[in-house]
Structure 1
Amino acid sequence: MTYEISSWPEGEGAARAAELFTGAFGGDPAGVWAAPGRVNLIGEHLDYNGGPSVPIALPHATYAALSPREDDRVRIASAGADPELWTGALDDVRPGGDQPTWVSYALGAAWVLARAGHALRGVDAAIVSCVPASAGLSSSAAIECAVGLALVDVLGLPVGRRELVGVCQRAENEVVGAPTGSMDQSASLLAGAGRALVLDTLDGSTELVPFDLTGRGLSLLVIDTRASHALVDGQYAQRRATCERVAGREGVELLGQVADPYGLLDRLSDPVEFKRVRHVVTEIGRVNEFVALVRTGAYDRIGPLLDASHASLRDDYEVSCPELDVAVEAARGSGALGARMTGGGFGGSAIALVPAGLVGQVERAVGRAYAEHGWDEPRFIPAVAAESGRRVLR
């Protein structure tokens, strides 16, 4: 049996976080802040290559209830974490520290803010989330951004949203040790309801474009493969290092800065470098075509771009896996207009563009395909473009 992952209504998420806070620390929090997970529509592995991507924020969010303290102590509770309550000092959370990984995600932004000269105090915080973990939907950035918003707000720090994107990305890169780009944090903090975020990481510019499939009789279905997904096992870093090595030989920092990318492909003799760079170059082209179609409302024509993106990620960037490939093929074979893996890969989720009346049919087909392989049941998330991070309870 396959099943869907539901988001929480905003009030329910806020209430759960406040209840956990009261149970752990007594009293009420100063407020509750929410930050969403994201799904990337197209433009994979481009955010660290100086290319564009097009994510949307999900209705699924992480909620952080938080109050400041008068000392430098930190107490942080998280439902389902190990341990569920962590206590320490602000200085204990740092690169190479012995704090649990989930604490690095939750408090890494505090380390970055302190290094930037902002005056911090200790906090009590409680975190709950309905963003599926290990699904490639940026549950990590949702934690970073929810707590980051809370710290900036409750401590009155002069940090805007765009600056906070960089703070949270640096926290993930340096405190957690995951060499990700800025797409996840940008989507969580800058996206909008009914809008997709066009993020150009070459110049940092962003644009919100309409993305509302409902009126066109379409749905975006996220398929959580439940296959193991981790970005700190070295595979992600290897691909980033390959792209940076090629860019360095070209005298630029990022592949997106190469003036003649197809000429570069002609000059590459190493087969691995050629495939990695070919994905980056062709994916940039697909993103540009995708955005042009979305601007005109031609949602029914974006399916082939999703298919081509998956083939490139599977064959050139080699970040897919059998569970993702089977989900994509089963979705296409049962009525999806296009489908591809999304996120960093090596597991996680796929997305499918599906006529609204065929969603159940696609879910059943993917479920049957998984059963035939003896895999765990997939999970499904009907995705709509939701709000960015915000304060939800005062």
Structure 2
Amino acid sequence: DYNNGYALGAAIDKYTYAAVSKRKDKLICAFSQNFDTRINKFPLSDISKKKGTHWTNYLKAVTLELSKKKCLTKGFNIYIASDVPASGGVSSSAALELAVGLAISRLYKIKLSLLDLAIICQQAENGPLVASPCGFLDQATCALSEKNNLLFLDFLPKNKLPVSEAKTIPFDLKKHHLSFVIVVDKNVRRNLGQSGYPARRKSCEKSLPILSKLLHKKISSLRKISAQEFEKYKDKFNKIDKKMRMRIEHIIYENQRVLDSIKSIKKNDMQSFGNILTLSGLSALELFELDEKTPELTFLLKKARNIKGVLGVRNMGGGFSANILVLLKSSHLDSFSAKLSTMYMKKYYHRLDFISFQPSQGANILWQLE
């Protein structure tokens, strides 16, 4: 996303729920079923950051951004419950932001499209209260996904929007007797702002003036370079900065893999789609090194792809956590889970969680009294 490239996303059938009600005073009273033993209270007029990665920083950040759209004169009560794993890779922060943002905007009648709300939520996460330099992929996917569809996003900005195209692609895995499975080790936790993600992003940005000089033309983003152009200057760039060359090689070829994936899906060629997933995962580890200081991720990806019934496997999210996405035959779900669990337990003495899902609906209102 931050390289103005292409991406395919999908919402999973795990959710973050937000229940809100208005207050007569100017207090915000917040409680999370997952994290709290007491109610968090703070005045609407003084939204300050809580030390560490406390979940209320996300709530405060979204509230602050929404208040720029409409002055919030009264406070609110909010109750949060979630079964989205918080270990990274499955957009738990974006799910929280969208749930909070949709609930508050509807409560105070702030008129926003889901795309507009996703943009506000990204701004909230990028801002000082959370300070995570995330791109727009997570928020857009949580907001715009539809059941039995993948979401194609073109991150070339257009008309002050972060995407120039967002469209759904029919993708009914059941008719192919296939499932997606997310494999998670919740003991391996990361924080996006503290992981190697910012360094990868900065490396891509620093490559642009170097590429412009090599190719003798203005390169505003890595999407502007074809695989053929990159191969022509690959050796020269490698001599300038090998690590940077690895990073941009991954991005350039990843863009092409997204487009190739769509072609495979439209042809109902799930084996080809699975192969592309695996190539993407290998590139993420070998070139983008998203398994840095995370040997658990390397182990999961390499072991999972050799288990019977698996069509494809890749890392999840921004890396640096033990999360993978697996495409496999539904009839092999139980045997796959048992075999990978056994191998992982012998190696790391940790239990794995398996989340089997079909592409699901994104953010929506479940119930409204008024």
Q: TM-score range by the shorter chain?
A: 0.7 to 0.9
State the Cα distance separating 1:177 from its structure 2 match: 0.8
TM-score by length of 1: 0.83
Structure 1: give runs of 5+ residues left out of the alignment.
Answer: 1-46
Q: Contact 1:221 / 1:382 at 8 angstroms: preserved in 2?
A: yes
Matched with 1:44 is none
Conservation of the 8 A alpha-carbon contact between 1:101 and 1:176:
no
Deviation at 1:252, TM superposition (A): 4.7
- Of 301, 310, 318, which residue of structure 1 is paired with 2:281? 310
1:73–1:90 CA contact under 8 A, matched in 2: yes
Report the alpha carbon displacement of residue 92 of structure 1 after superposing the two structures with TM: 2.9
| 1:221 counterpart letter in structure 2 | V
**Inter-partner Cα distance in structure 2 for 1:139 and 1:129:** 9
- What does residue range 261-272 of structure 1 map to in structure 2 within 5 Å? 261-262=230-231, 265-268=234-237, 269-272=240-243
Task: Give a deviation string over 1:263-310, Cα, whole Å, max 9, x none.
Answer: 564542201110010010011111110011112222232121111111
Question: Residue 329 of structure 1 corresponds to which residue in structure 2?
Answer: 302
2:290 maps to 1:319: yes
Change (3 A) 1:148 1:270: same
Offset, 1:331: 2.0
**Cα distance 1:208–1:71, how it changes in 2: closer, same or farther (>3 A)?**
same
- RMSD over aligned CA atoms reads 1.9
Q: Distance in 1 between matches of 2:234 and 2:63?
A: 42
Contact 2:209 2:219 in 1 (8 A): yes
The corresponding residue for 2:215 is: none
- Aligned-partner Cα distance in 2 for 1:387–1:131: 14
Q: Specify the SS of the correspondent of 1:54.
A: strand
Alignment match, 1:371: 345
Percent of residue pairs bearing the same amino acid type: 28
Q: Distance in 2 between the 1:50 and 1:133 partners? A: 27
SS at match of 2:81: strand
* Partner of residue 61 from structure 2, selected from 86, 108, 114: 108
AA at the equivalent of 1:314: L
Q: 1:245 to 1:270 in 2, by over 3 A?
A: same
Give the one of 311, 317, 320 matched to 1:346. 320
Larger % of strand: which?
1
Distance in 1 (CA, whole Å) between partners of 2:4 and 2:306 is 34
Q: Partner of 1:73 in structure 2? A: 27
Residue type matched to 1:189 in 2? A
Aligned to 2:259: 288
Q: Distance in 2 between matches of 1:99 and 1:75?
A: 20
Q: 1:69 to 1:317 in 2, by over 3 A?
A: same
TM-score (norm 2): 0.88
Q: CA deviation at 1:114?
A: 2.2
Matched residue type, 2:155: T
Q: Which residue of 2 aligns with 1:277?
A: 248
CA separation in 2, counterparts of 1:100 and 1:354? 35
CA contact (8 A) 1:244 1:253 kept: no
Residues 1:306 and 1:66: Cα distance change in structure 2 (over 3 Å): same
Would the aligned equivalents of 2:44 and 2:75 in 1 still touch at CA under 8 Å? yes
Cα deviation per residue 1:66-113 (whole Å; 9 max; x = unaligned)? 01224432111111324642111224335x565863011123111112
- 8 Å contact from structure 1 (residues 75, 87) kept in 2: yes
